[in-house]
Chains A and B, each alone.
Chain A
Amino acid sequence: MLLCVAALSSLAWSLVIAPLGGPDEEAHVAYTQRIAETGELPQKLEDVPPLAPRLQGGRDGFSSELQAVQDFGLMWQTALKPYVKPNGTSVEWRAYQRFVSSLKDGGRTDGRGFQPAANNPPLYYLYTTIPYEIGRSGSLLTRMELMRWAGIPLLLVVVTMTWLLVAELIPRPYWARSLAAGVVAVHPVLTFISGVVNPDIALAALWATFLWLAVRTVRYGPSLRRALWLGGIVAASTLVQPRGLALGLPMAFALGLAMWRFKTPMRSVVRWGGAALGLSFVGAALFYFVLAVYGGDETSGWISTTANSSGFNVRQFLSYVWQFYLPPLKIMEPMFGPPRGFRYVWVESFFAVFGQLDIHLPGWVYDRLYTASVWSLVILAVLLILRSDALRRHRAELAVLVVTVVTLVAGLHYAAYRALQGNGATDPILVGRYLFPIIPIFGLAVAFVCTSLPRRWGQYAGALVLSSSVLVLIGGLGSAIVRNHF
């Protein structure tokens, strides 16, 4: 039932969000189209082919067909400008069809250059090539919708893996797993991301699978099969998104811990460890090979050469991280970059900011989400201390989860700091959806808190969390309708 709910939520988002209305969706679509139409990846070029006449220029990586969707539908103009609504009349789309059919190759093949997603590795885009090919005879709007639907199975993987993870760690009561999987299945922003073309949902699916496998590995012991799976997932994660590189560390930790716990013979350590690390390195090598051949860099262009040469300032970085979560101390300089910290990034944009960060709910919703999040974290911390004896039985599994969380969050802060250094402290390029790779742990934490309460209270607390998520989800869908049509 939860899988049906998740699929329905994702489908609903795919319908109400205007074409190219997801975060950088035009860039992700352009990448897929480039692979599907030419068999090539986006490439840094000296001379980029011009777009078809009449289209807005200067968007090198987009085909004329994609650019026409942006121009005729005002999709590009809509982003971040609430007063502009995408065009949606049938006469405009008929004019678009006439225009596109007058272009050579339907304007599909001339998007050769770089665009914001071009530094991403190609695995997710190879995946979305499948729905693109299925819809080849249709318009680009049809192909884009089919590509959006390709996010549904990935969302179902996240939900399933959350269920399985909680089944391992909190086998009783049984409702713990439906609560954890439920908060993931109706998570407003996760379902939104799965309903648009975006590799973050693929990354979430891979990390969710990793978490379950890693927990089983430290729990039941390592094997060649498990090592191969873990290494393969890390390789795939690396080939989906540059942030996926970070999974290598939790994988090495989980495998090492499992081998230590189960006193694995040295020969097996070498074989299994070599297999897992070898696969991971193959993924990383392929990633860097792709970047080298096509002229990109692993930071998606956000960190310039100048920034790299300016060097990492430890004091400034620590001050940035402190002020991300807490008010500044008197000895600190003002926050490096825009004052967007825990509240906006880890609460508001994690739970309820949609579209190209331009679809919001009323302010009081964010106030309550923030209050609930802070109190939930406090309660979680208290329960972790109070139930430390019971948790000790799962300390190996918990260590894997903690290392995964710390690796991701620390990596995100580091990348955000470097991005600020690179773009003149204007944008840390950090939003809540970057936490989706560890969203099963969010579900697990909710389940842990609720099952730690007296039985009846816990069940109603779980019901409250699920109901609130459903309301925010439906409210978000409604806001998207108003944003695009009113």
Chain B
Amino acid sequence: MRRVFGSRRGLEVFVVMVLGLAVAGYYFFNNWLLDPRGVAVATPSPPPFKTDTPVRVDGGQKACIKGVAYTPRTQVASFAIATRSKSRSQVPVAFEASGPGYSATGVLRRYPEGVPAPVAFSAPDHELIGTACFHNLGARPVWLSATREGRVASSLETKINGVTQESDIGLVFFTNREHDVLSQLPAVFERIANWQPLGRPILWAVFVLVLLGIPLGTAWAFASTIARDDEPAAAPPAA
């Protein structure tokens, strides 16, 4: 420490670097941290990548996916419906979420043809594994966007009347409003904590260390060697 603060040039470079990084960091990352953005909480079954092979659900029928994870943040379901009809009236489709001690429904009455549309439903107050059903409330059939692409399809199966369908219906869960990155950090660390052995407190510590330690450490390392150049050369040993 004495080396950097003992050298005018080293201290100058250190201060300029730290201030520069702080200003640039604020300029570049402020909006990134605080701009609201949609949060995809879970993807029980990914939508098609290139090829849509839809699942037909007749009037009154239900297509169901078992093993779907619900959390307090799974508040909006997104999936695509096509009616393949030129008539203006659309077929209402209910999204029915259920699990141990949990049941919720959201009805989609108006939606763009074949494009993912959001439907809100009540999220559970705790995480659970349950079932997601798409209930055709009308009389005419609908086609739910689905895929059988190898690297897209999930391992969850779609069934209609107990019959497994070849395609998996694309289903994504979102939060019911946009959030900024900063406010979602606790949820992010909770997810990361599920992936690896470090607990959340350590993750927070690493986060702070990264934000402070990498810029400060880099500036310090560079400035200290600049300061070293300013030090007088060691005196030759006495004869």
Q: Is A76 an interface residue (CB 8 A)?
A: yes
Q: A54-B155, A89-B194 are in contact. Are A5 and B17 (CB under 8 A)?
A: no
Contact mask for chain A residues 63-74; partner B; CB cutoff 8 A; 1 contact, 0 none: 000000001111
**Of A179-187, A205-213, A411-419, A432-440, the one touching chain B:** A179-187
Q: Which residues of chain B come closer than 8 Å to A138, judged between CB atoms?
A: 197
Are B191 and A89 in contact, CB atoms less than 8 angstroms apart?
Answer: yes
Interface stretch, picked from A14-22, A223-231, A307-315, is: A14-22
Contact of B214 with A by CB under 8 A: yes
Q: Which residues from B are CB-within-8-Å of A464?
A: 20
Kindly list chain B residues whose C-beta atoms are within 8 Å of the C-beta of A185: 218
Q: In the complex, are the beta carbons of B210 and A474 less than 8 A apart?
A: yes
Q: Among the listed B9, B39, B127, B196, which residue makes an inter-chain contact with A141, where contact means beta carbons less than 8 Å apart? A: B196
Instruction: Establish whether residues A2 and B221, one from each chain, have CB atoms under 8 Å apart when the complex forms.
Output: yes
Q: Give complex CA distance A85, B192 in Å.
A: 13
Q: Among the listed stretches B107-115, B132-140, B146-154, which one makes contact with chain A, having 4 or more residues with CB under 8 Å of it?
A: B146-154
A125 CB to closest chain B CB, in angstroms?
Answer: 20
Which residue in B42, B47, B217, B229 is a CB contact (below 8 Å) of A2? B217
Query: How distant is A242 from chain B, measured CB to nearest CB, in Å?
Result: 25
When A71-B155, A74-B43, A459-B13 are in contact, do A89 and B69 touch as well, CB less than 8 Å?
A: yes
Contact of A182 among B24, B70, B187, B218 (CB under 8 A): B218
Residue of B nearest to A178 (CB): B225
Tell me how many residues of B have a C-beta within 8 Å of chain A. 66
Contact, CB under 8 Å: B214 / A8: yes
SS class, residues of chain B in contact with chain A: helix
Contact between chains at B153 and A186 (CB < 8 Å): no
Contacts A92-B69, A185-B218, A460-B13 given; indicate if A77 touches B196 (C-beta within 8 A): no
Please, how many angstroms separate the alpha-carbon atoms of A90 and B39 in the complex?
Answer: 17
Q: Is the CB of A177 within 8 A of B194?
A: no
Min distance, Cβ B105 to any Cβ of chain A, angstroms: 21
Residues of chain B from 188 to 230 with CB closer than 8 A to chain A in the complex: 188, 190-192, 194-198, 203, 206, 209-211, 213-215, 217-222, 224-226, 228-229
Give B152's nearest chain A residue, CB to CB. Answer: A77
CB B153 to nearest CB in A, in angstroms, measures: 7
Q: B215, B219, B221: which has the most chain A beta carbons within 10 Å?
A: B221
CB atoms of A5 and B69 under 8 A apart: no
Dominant secondary structure at the A interface: helix
The tally of residues in A whose CB lies under 8 Å from a CB in B reads 73
**B214–A5 contact, CB under 8 A?**
yes
Q: Which of B26-44 contact A (CB under 8 A)?
A: 28-29, 32, 37-43
| Chain A neighbourhood of B129, CB < 8 A | 91-92, 95
Does the CB pair B29–A478 fall under 8 Å? Answer: yes
What 0/1 readout, one digit per residue, does chain A (173-198) give for beta carbons within 8 Å of chain B?
11101110010011000000000000
User: Which chain A residue shows the least CB distance to B217?
Assistant: A5
Q: Closest chain B residue to A70 by CB distance?
A: B155
Contact B229 A89 (CB under 8 A): no
* Cβ B150 vs Cβ A58 within 8 A: yes
B164 → chain A, closest Cβ, in Å? 12
- In the assembly, what is the distance between CA of A473 and CA of B222, in Å? 17
How far is it, in angstroms, between the C-alpha of A173 and the C-alpha of B225 when the chains are bound? 9
Contact status A91-B206, CB under 8 Å: no
Tell me whether B25 is interfacial, beta carbon within 8 Å: yes
Tell me whether A87 and B69 are in contact in the complex, defined as CB-CB below 8 angstroms, given that A2-B218, A16-B192, A459-B9 are known contacts.
Answer: yes
Q: How far is the CA of A467 from the CA of B190 in the complex (A)?
A: 30
Produce 1/0 per residue, B164-191, CB < 8 A to A. Answer: 0000000010000000010010011011
In the complex the two chains form, is B46's CB within 8 Å of A186's CB?
no
- B128, CB-defined interface residue at 8 Å: yes
Q: Give complex CA distance A55, B203 in Å.
A: 31
Q: How far is the CA of A19 from the CA of B194 in the complex (A)?
A: 10
Cβ contact within 8 Å between A81 and B217: no
For residue B104, CB closer than 8 A to chain A, the reply is no
CB distance from B103 to the nearest CB of A (A): 17
The 8 A CB mask of A385-412 against B (1 = contact, 0 = none) is 0000000000000000000000000000
Query: Do A5 and B218 touch across chains, with their CB atoms under 8 A apart?
Result: yes
With A8-B206, A178-B225 given, name 17 new contacts (CB 8 A): A4-B213, A8-B209, A54-B155, A81-B46, A90-B127, A91-B70, A92-B129, A142-B197, A145-B197, A174-B229, A179-B225, A186-B214, A466-B219, A467-B21, A471-B25, A481-B188, A485-B188
For the complex of A and B, the 8 pairs showing the least CB-CB separation, nearest first, are: A88-B191, A178-B225, A71-B155, A145-B196, A175-B225, A5-B217, A1-B221, A91-B127
Query: Could you jot down 12 A-B contacts, CB within 8 Å?
Result: A8-B206, A54-B155, A84-B46, A85-B40, A90-B127, A93-B195, A95-B67, A173-B229, A175-B225, A466-B222, A473-B214, A475-B29
